[in-house]
Amino acid sequence: MSDDARTLGAGRHLSRRQFLGGTAAALALGGGADATVSAQATPAGASATTDGPGLALINGRIHTMDPDGRIVSQALVRGGRFVAVGDGVGQADAQVVDLMGRTVIPGIIDAHNHIVLVGNRPGWHTPLEHVFTIPNAVAALQARSAQVPAGEFITTIGPIAARQFAEQRLPELRELDAVNRPVYLQAAQGGTRTNTQGREWLEARGVTVAADGSIAGPSVGLALQSLRREWLTPETRRRAALDALQYYATLGITTHRDSGAFHEDEAATGIASENTYRMHDPFLALDREGRLPARLRIDFLHRDAPDADPPLPTLSARLKNSFPFFGNDWLRTGGIGEFTGGGVEGLRAIARAGWRGEDHALNLAGATRLIENRELVNAEIPIADLRWILSHVPAFPPDLADRAHVLGMGVLVGWGPLRSGTDLGPPYRQLVEHPIPVGYHSDGGDITVINPWLNFYTIATGLNLSGEPILGDQTLTREQTLSLATTANKWFIREDDLGSIEVGNHADLAVLDRDCFTVSDEDFKRTRSLLTVVGGKIVHDDGVLPVASP
Ligand SMILES: [Zn+2]
């Protein structure tokens, strides 16, 4: 999330597409060639194998991401964990998935995004991050409309961008009019759009809509606030939360670390704002019902003013009354971030309480100040064992990495595909060659996309989604990129038994629809998961691979 996301909130927009968990009916994605998403997805929980006979994966190219970098053909899962990984591990009494030579990777860990915001979007939020042309986006929205009652909004708010489309723009009103429902798109990059049905509803609430369906300036905040007032209820939040997690399971994400939102008590105008004391409710409900299709790790964002009186009004209450790293394997709390708030005094309070703290940096001056403040606190209260995090670092020279490393910190990198400019950073190559822990995050949900493959594309090619070079000579290999998003992220979520396919680890993996290590750059960007497994449970299944009962 960007510091200015709140004000910018008035100009972004989003989307997502979806398999409607819950009801087995998946959204037929309607798209064309670039939207080869299957029309069937397994609803979360429908194929639980955790307590059953077990799951055997055979005939694959399983990239274990273990310390030896082994690639094996088989893995056996029981009780939600890998019990054998290799070639010829046996399959007795197990449900058998024939991988037919497909590439398998450990489930992707997005170590910092804003999935909880995405799970609280008003209307029928429809993700479109796997769609690359406007006709296919419109087709996906048309397909979605079959599930949406007349008069209700189809929305895509946050992780969608003009840059993802070949046309390098968002759909316009005349194109969105092919969808027989009100449509509202608010993109992380490229503007805000509606169609004729949406315009009618929005104009009645004082929103200014241009002839091409564009909404700009303060009208964007008013539009979003109006949608939240009308189309956000506990039930819609539950649906949106499940949809969001289910959608990203189709892209191979099995663990999200959520890095919070800006607090507003009531329906807010900002895309990065929510009621941060209530926004986790739908996810907590899904967890109680055993329906989460991915793991969720929750950090708490605080923004107390350094001169507040009494001091640290929200942060000190949090530290006194909450538990860090508390929960279960599916849903667990984390630390404070991605803003700690309260200045150096806030950092002292977090250090004293023994919590993890995370802040983000938008430029080198900001990153340097953050390190200086932590050095100050560390001299009084050691933080080296607390794994504090700096996220989306920009330029980050080796001497600064040295200083952060001494403090026991790690840095998260990513947040690239929508940016423009040259040598924007982060310096991926320099950082992975440094001993400091480095992990991958999308930071997606409000100011950028969550689709990991769009992010991986930028890291591995150095190009943004418009094809412009933004990373100088700091690109990584695909192997390095994938390892940042899997095994390297163990450190950031403080869990050693995720992120690699090894005996004893949670059985989280994605069977990919292509070999992400060898396909062309354009195809790499379009990678999807055919079958996603979390804790031995099949949470997404395109129905392509034969699955045989024991
Ligand atoms: Zn963020």
Burial of residue 79 (CB within 10 Å: 0-12, 13-18, 19+) is middle
Residue 311 Cα to ligand 1 midpoint, Å, equals 25
Cα 395 from Cα 382, distance rounded (Å): 26
Residue 297 Cα to ligand 1 midpoint, Å, equals 14
- Give the per-residue pLDDT at 32: 34
Residue 112 Cα to ligand 1 midpoint, Å, equals 6
| Mean pLDDT confidence for 5-22 | 30
Cα 355 from Cα 348, distance rounded (Å): 10
**pLDDT, tens digit, for every residue of 306-364?**
999 999 999 999 999 999 999 999 999 999 999 999 999 999 999 999 999 999 999 99
pLDDT band at 51 (very low <50, low <70, confident <90, very high): low
Q: Are 153 and 122 in contact (CB under 8 A)?
A: yes
Residue 95 Cα to ligand 1 midpoint, Å, equals 39
Q: In the block, which residue shows the tokens 């100050």?
A: 376
Which residues touch 278 (CB under 8 Å, ≥6 apart)? none
Inform me whether the pLDDT recorded for 31 exceeds 60: no
Residue 100 Cα to ligand 1 midpoint, Å, equals 38
Q: In the block, which residue shows the tokens 């929200």?
A: 314
Residue 43 Cα to ligand 1 midpoint, Å, equals 28
Residue 176 Cα to ligand 1 midpoint, Å, equals 30
- Give the per-residue pLDDT at 42: 37
| Mean pLDDT confidence for 301-305 | 97
Q: In the block, which residue shows the tokens 């723009």?
A: 169
pLDDT band at 16 (very low <50, low <70, confident <90, very high): very low
Determine the residue type at 128: L
Burial 401-439 (b: 16+ CB within 10 A, else e): bebbbebbbbbbbbbbbbbeeeebbbbbbbbbebebbbb
Q: Are 287 and 45 in contact (CB under 8 A)?
A: no
- Give the per-residue pLDDT at 52: 58
| Mean pLDDT confidence for 54-71 | 97
Residue 5 Cα to ligand 1 midpoint, Å, equals 10
Cα 85 from Cα 397, distance rounded (Å): 39
| Mean pLDDT confidence for 168-183 | 98
| Mean pLDDT confidence for 528-540 | 97
Q: How far, CA to CA in Å, does 219 sit from each of 20, 48, 492? A: 30, 46, 38
- Give the per-residue pLDDT at 93: 86
Residue 315 Cα to ligand 1 midpoint, Å, equals 18
What does the DSSP 8-state code read for residue 25?
Answer: B
- Give the per-residue pLDDT at 28: 30
Mean of the per-residue pLDDT values of the chain: 91
Q: Could you give the residue ranges of the DSSP H alpha helices within 363-466?
A: 364-380, 398-406, 428-432, 452-461
Nearest to 22 by CA among 37, 44, 39, 40: 44
Q: Which of 89-98, 117-126, 162-171, 445-454 has the lowest mean pLDDT?
A: 89-98
Determine the residue type at 466: S
pLDDT above 90 covers what percent of the chain? 86
The alpha carbon torsion through 26, 444, 317, 411 (nearest 10 deg) reads 130
And the tokens for 8?
A: 């910018």
Residue 395 Cα to ligand 1 midpoint, Å, equals 17
Residue 413 Cα to ligand 1 midpoint, Å, equals 11
Residue 489 Cα to ligand 1 midpoint, Å, equals 16
Residue 491 Cα to ligand 1 midpoint, Å, equals 18
**pLDDT, tens digit, for every residue of 262-299?**
999 999 999 999 999 999 999 999 999 999 999 999 99
Residue 90 Cα to ligand 1 midpoint, Å, equals 43
Residue 338 Cα to ligand 1 midpoint, Å, equals 6
Burial of residue 313 (CB within 10 Å: 0-12, 13-18, 19+) is middle
And the tokens for 472?
A: 């100088």
- Give the per-residue pLDDT at 124: 97
Torsions phi, psi of 383, nearest 5? Answer: -115, 0
- Give the per-residue pLDDT at 419: 93
- Give the per-residue pLDDT at 255: 98
- Give the per-residue pLDDT at 549: 84
| Mean pLDDT confidence for 401-407 | 98
What does the DSSP 8-state code read for residue 463?
Answer: B
- Give the per-residue pLDDT at 67: 96
And the tokens for 141?
A: 């929205």
pLDDT above 70 covers what percent of the chain? 91
pLDDT band at 3 (very low <50, low <70, confident <90, very high): very low
Torsions phi, psi of 381, nearest 5? Answer: -135, 110
**pLDDT, tens digit, for every residue of 191-214?**
999 999 999 999 999 999 999 999
pLDDT band at 423 (very low <50, low <70, confident <90, very high): confident
Burial 498-537 (b: 16+ CB within 10 A, else e): bbbbbeebbbbbbbbbbebbebeeeebbbbbbbbbbbbbb
Inform me whether the pLDDT recorded for 530 exceeds 60: yes
Q: In the block, which residue shows the tokens 């440094």?
A: 434
Residue 12 Cα to ligand 1 midpoint, Å, equals 15
And the tokens for 97?
A: 């998935």
- Give the per-residue pLDDT at 33: 34
- Give the per-residue pLDDT at 425: 84
